[in-house]
């Protein structure tokens, strides 16, 4: 079976797709209209009080670089842009699912987002916020497996424990695809922007990305670094091999690695259990 067929077979098994809150759908429409103002979008998000406060907490967390200083959603939109806000609203809703069932994965995702932000900033890339949003969502496929294919998920976990192999290898064995393939399908279903879909899809093989290779490379490296620092739990306890091609594409050798790792560590330290 090809990957596409595998995914199709899997999605048939999935009874309920985690649905996005109403406001996210509305938001997608509003954001696409060129006439929308930050104020209108802010009002829409704030209309859902719980969501509004979550969005404010997320945008005030260290990985967006304005910790504790954004007090209104419309201000957040002006600073971060529509795409980031859409990602943030989405993350806030998705992680609602995750926080209850997968605290370790949430922390791993947050750690990856912080590492991605630090790397993107030190490489002076454009849109570091968007890159960290992609990193925040990179393992979204795992959430879907856990929530919608929970028996398969349990089998994967027990294989990882018994055979000491990577989570991704166990996924491939049980499902025929891995969480990056599932993440690709899910983020397309949700019509996320390509700037988020591509890095999520290619976070294991950034070299294979047809475009946005540099963003996929940052998410790939950030995933590894977050695991190296032991932030949260990404499904297995090991650091995956970081792609030399991705490393070279970002010209990482011409950066002070010691200084970068020190900075990542400081940024990670700011996020403790009590951040959210």
Partner 1 sequence: MQRVPLDMLKPGMVCAKAVVNEKGMTLCAEGTELSAAMIERLKRMCVTSLVVKGNPIDTGIPAKSKEELLAEMQARFVPVAGDPLMDRIKESIGKAILSSRTEEEENAPHE
User: Is residue 193 classed exposed, middle or buried when 0-12, 13-18 and 19+ CB atoms within 10 A define those classes?
Assistant: middle
Query: Which position has the token pair 């609602």?
Result: 96
52: tokens are: 């509004």
Measured CA to CA, the distance from residue 170 to residue 178 in angstroms comes to: 9
Closer by beta carbon to partner 1, 39 or else 69: 69
Cβ(152)–Cβ(167) below 8 Å: no
Closer by beta carbon to partner 1, 43 or else 75: 75
Site for partner 1 in 50-69 (CB under 8 A): 56-57, 60, 67-69
- Is residue 265 near partner 1 by the rule CB under 8 A? yes
- Is residue 241 near partner 1 by the rule CB under 8 A? yes
The size of the interface with partner 1 (CB under 8 A), counted in residues, is 40
Contact region for partner 1 (CB under 8 A) — 10-18, 21-29, 88-96, 254-262? 254-262
Site for partner 1 in 94-123 (CB under 8 A): none
Cβ(134)–Cβ(219) below 8 Å: yes
Residues that bind partner 1 (CB under 8 A): 56-57, 60, 67-72, 75, 79, 224-225, 227-230, 237-242, 244, 247, 257-258, 260-262, 264-265, 269-276
């Amino acid at each position: 079976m090809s990957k596409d067929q595998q995914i199709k077979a899997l999605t048939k098994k999935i009874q309920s797709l985690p649905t996005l809150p109403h406001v996210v759908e509305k938001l997608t429409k509003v954001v696409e209209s060129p006439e929308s103002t930050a104020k209108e979008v802010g009002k829409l998000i704030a209309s859902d009080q719980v969501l509004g406060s979550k969005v404010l907490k997320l945008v005030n967390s260290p990985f967006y670089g304005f910790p504790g200083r954004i007090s209104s959603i419309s201000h957040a939109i002006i600073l971060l842009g529509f795409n980031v806000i859409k990602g943030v609203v989405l993350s806030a809703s998705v992680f609602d699912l995750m926080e209850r069932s997968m605290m370790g994965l949430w922390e791993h995702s947050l750690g990856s987002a912080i590492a991605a932000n630090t790397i993107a900033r030190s490489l002076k890339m454009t849109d570091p916020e968007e890159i960290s949003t992609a990193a925040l969502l990179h393992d979204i496929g795992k959430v879907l497996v856990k929530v919608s294919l929970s028996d398969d998920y349990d089998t994967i976990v027990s294989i990882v424990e018994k055979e000491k192999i990577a989570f991704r290898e166990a996924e491939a064995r049980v499902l025929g695809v891995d969480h990056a393939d599932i993440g690709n399908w899910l983020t397309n279903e949700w019509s996320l922007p390509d700037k988020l879909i591509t890095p999520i899809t290619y976070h294991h093989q950034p070299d294979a990305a047809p475009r946005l290779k540099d963003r996929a490379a940052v998410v790939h490296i950030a995933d590894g670094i977050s695991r190296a620092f032991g932030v949260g739990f990404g499904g297995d306890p090991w650091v995956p091999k970081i792609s030399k091609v991705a490393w070279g594409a970002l010209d990482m050798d011409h950066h002070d690695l010691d200084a970068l790792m020190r900075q990542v560590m400081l940024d990670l330290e700011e996020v403790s259990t009590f951040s959210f």
